[in-house]
Amino acid sequence: MEKNALLDAVERYIRGEMLPEEQQFFEHVRNTNPDVDQLVIEHTLFLKQFTQYGETARLKTELQTIHQQLTENGQIGEGRPAIVVTLWKKYKKTVFVAASIAGITALVISGLISLLSPKVSPDKVDYLINQMGITNHKINDIATQVKSAQPPPVFDGFGTGFLIDGKGYLITNAHVVRNAREIDVQNTLGNYHARLIRLDPQADLALLKIDDTTYHAFNGLPYGISKSDGDLGEDLFTLGYPRPEIVYNKGYLSATTGFEEDTTTFQLTIAANPGNSGTPVFNNDGEVIGVVNSSQHNAQGMVFAVRSRNIFRAVDSMKADSSLLGSDSSLVHLHVPVGSALRGIDRRQQIRRIEDYIFIVKRN
């Protein structure tokens, strides 16, 4: 904490934000304490490098946008033809030689063919044409069969997701589906196609919607999403798909903050195999209090999870985004449940009632 305050002072000093007296005092400290002096020098350099990085990064993006815009408006670039022109200049002679050789060869061959080819009766030609028509038909049939039997896409990334609305809205981790081309989700009942509605990389959450005619919407969910943070030592359990089989695990809330004391996440300790990214974390009442975010877990059974109140935040910001509402009108009716119907019942019953609402998320 003391170091924090010192660095804060150094930054204000570098930016010239100190009052004259404070600055005088700081300079005195700096002159008498070589460590402070060293810190000022080193931090000035670092901040300069960081700012330069930011400026260059911004310019790079801007240049890309300008380039694209000017190209679209036809204000710069002549595109590919220029290459053809240079190639033409370079290989003009070769092309002429090649063309004349080709011409002579063609003449010779067509002469030979007309000389040597046997005379054929028109009947036979008709017969052949007929046969060819039939063959073409067959080939077309086979081609359509092959097309309809196209292999399913190969998925190379997996995570877990869970419904927050029976209409088919799922939550998983942003890093599970970032840059995905194709997303499928699968529960105990079937496999469905899904699409990404919103990424919230900061909270590491993503909202998906099942987009498949074979999916039958659920009427409400058995569990609720909790708005409270959970208590230290509280018993927790997870249900997720670390492998193609659903896996149950239990543990406890072991710290109210996450990695590097991040307050948007918390830490849980669980025997082993906590389920992979996107697995919901339930309390005894069957309320979701977090989402496992395995990108930051380590080997000693310590896992970090994103607090569930971030789900509400993500959904709210999405509803405020009018461009999203335009593309999916049912978003207005997206309703995140808060009450749980699993209070006070046996764990085996709870699991049985929850498992259909948990999905494997597959992406490529």
Residues that bind other proteins (CB under 8 A): 3-4, 7-8, 46-47, 49-60, 62-64, 66-67, 70, 75-80, 82-83, 86, 201-204, 260-264, 295-296, 309-310, 313
Tokens of 118: 């046997």
Residue 283: partners with Cβ closer than 8 Å, 6 or more residues away: 226, 230, 234, 235, 236, 289
Cβ closest to other proteins, residue 182 vs residue 262:
262
Cβ closest to other proteins, residue 252 vs residue 259:
259
**209: nearest Cα among 327, 296, 76:** 327
99/220 Cα distance (integer angstroms): 74
Tokens of 120: 């054929």
Cβ closest to other proteins, residue 51 vs residue 228:
51
Residue 273, classified by CB atoms within 10 Å of its CB into exposed (0-12), middle (13-18) or buried (19+), is middle
Tokens of 131: 């046969």
Give me the helices (H) in the chain, please.
2-14, 20-32, 34-72, 81-116, 122-148, 174-177, 309-319, 322-327, 347-354
* Amino acid (1-letter code) at residue 68: Q
Within 10 angstroms of residue 10's Cβ, the number of other Cβ atoms is: 20
Tokens of 180: 């995905």
CB of 39 to other proteins, least distance (A): 11
CB of 264 to other proteins, least distance (A): 5
Cβ closest to other proteins, residue 273 vs residue 296:
296
CB of 64 to other proteins, least distance (A): 8
CB of 156 to other proteins, least distance (A): 21
71/331 Cα distance (integer angstroms): 37
Cβ closest to other proteins, residue 57 vs residue 143:
57
239/342 Cα distance (integer angstroms): 15
CB of 35 to other proteins, least distance (A): 16
Cβ closest to other proteins, residue 60 vs residue 343:
60
Cβ closest to other proteins, residue 21 vs residue 260:
260
CB of 282 to other proteins, least distance (A): 21
CB of 289 to other proteins, least distance (A): 15
66/63 Cα distance (integer angstroms): 5
**207: nearest Cα among 291, 315, 281:** 315
CB of 79 to other proteins, least distance (A): 6
Cβ closest to other proteins, residue 75 vs residue 323:
75
148/8 Cα distance (integer angstroms): 65
